[in-house]
């Protein structure tokens, strides 16, 4: 079957899978040789190896002091250790693979969301791949560290925000939840989350007000 013969949703599925596979391969290429294991990585993986009842329910710790706002990163790492860890002998680089999977899935969702919203595959691929392959992003993407996960949550939030022009309440809720998880993971994400949530709330409020106005005006 040719590309022209594919239905729109199948085209999007093919592109999303291709983006996911390409970025996952780029992020995890030769990871067993280049994986960095520093103070924070040792700390986070040691926590992930513990049972669920020993995981923190507040902010996650740091080897240099301080904590994250919430436990999202630590619990994500615990989930990765239980899902991906057994496939890699529970060695630390499994954490980098797991985070790379999450990031690549977020990129796949973002490329589909941009394509749906603006109707341009070229724009969707250009924006997504430019962000995902930026040196700062690529250098940290396969490490056990919270900034890459925060970026993934930001991308997921943007994808839900761009899902369609007339957003449903569940998409607004999903975009808001992803933005809050990004802040939990890394506090600097507040500079994205605050304006994003305000914009989503304002847009939803204006739409609800317009519906009520039209309903009242209808005889």
Asked whether residue 196 is domain-assigned, the answer is yes
Asked whether residue 3 is domain-assigned, the answer is no
Q: How far is CA 24 from CA 36, 111, 161, 210, in A?
A: 18, 15, 24, 43
Asked whether residue 194 is domain-assigned, the answer is yes
d(CA 118, CA 43): 43
> What are the pLDDT digits (tens) for 64-117?
666 667 788 889 999 999 999 998 888 888 888 999 999 999 999 999 999 998
> What are the pLDDT digits (tens) for 115-159?
998 989 999 999 999 999 988 888 777 788 888 999 999 999 999
Pair 14, 6: CB distance under 8 Å: yes
Asked whether residue 101 is domain-assigned, the answer is yes
Asked whether residue 108 is domain-assigned, the answer is yes
Over the chain, what is the mean pLDDT?
A: 84
Asked whether residue 182 is domain-assigned, the answer is yes
pLDDT given at position 82: 93
Asked whether residue 1 is domain-assigned, the answer is no
Domain that holds residue 177: 8-217
Please count the structural domains in the chain. Answer: 1
Asked whether residue 207 is domain-assigned, the answer is yes
| pTM reported for the whole predicted model | 0.86
d(CA 156, CA 110): 7
d(CA 121, CA 116): 9
């Amino acid at each position: 079957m040719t590309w022209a013969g594919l239905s729109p949703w199948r085209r999007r599925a093919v592109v999303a899978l291709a983006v996911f596979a390409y970025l996952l391969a780029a992020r995890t290429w030769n990871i067993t040789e280049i994986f960095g294991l520093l103070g924070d990585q040792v700390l986070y993986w040691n926590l992930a190896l513990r049972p669920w009842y020993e995981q923190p329910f507040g902010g996650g710790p740091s080897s240099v002091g301080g904590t994250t706002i919430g436990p999202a990163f630590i619990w994500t790492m615990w989930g990765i250790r239980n899902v991906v860890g057994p496939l890699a002998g529970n060695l630390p680089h499994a954490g980098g693979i797991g985070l790379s999977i999450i990031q690549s899935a977020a990129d796949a969702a973002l490329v589909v969301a941009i394509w749906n919203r603006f109707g341009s595959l070229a724009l969707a691929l250009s924006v997504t791949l430019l962000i995902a392959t930026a040196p700062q992003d690529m250098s940290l993407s396969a490490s056990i560290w919270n900034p890459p996960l925060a970026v993934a949550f930001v991308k997921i939030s943007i994808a839900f925000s761009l899902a369609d022009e007339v957003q449903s309440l569940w998409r607004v809720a999903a975009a808001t939840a992803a933005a809050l998880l990004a802040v939990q993971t890394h506090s600097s994400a507040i500079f994205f989350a605050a304006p994003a949530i305000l914009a989503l709330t304002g847009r939803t409020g204006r739409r609800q007000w317009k519906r009520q106005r039209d309903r009242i005006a209808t005889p």
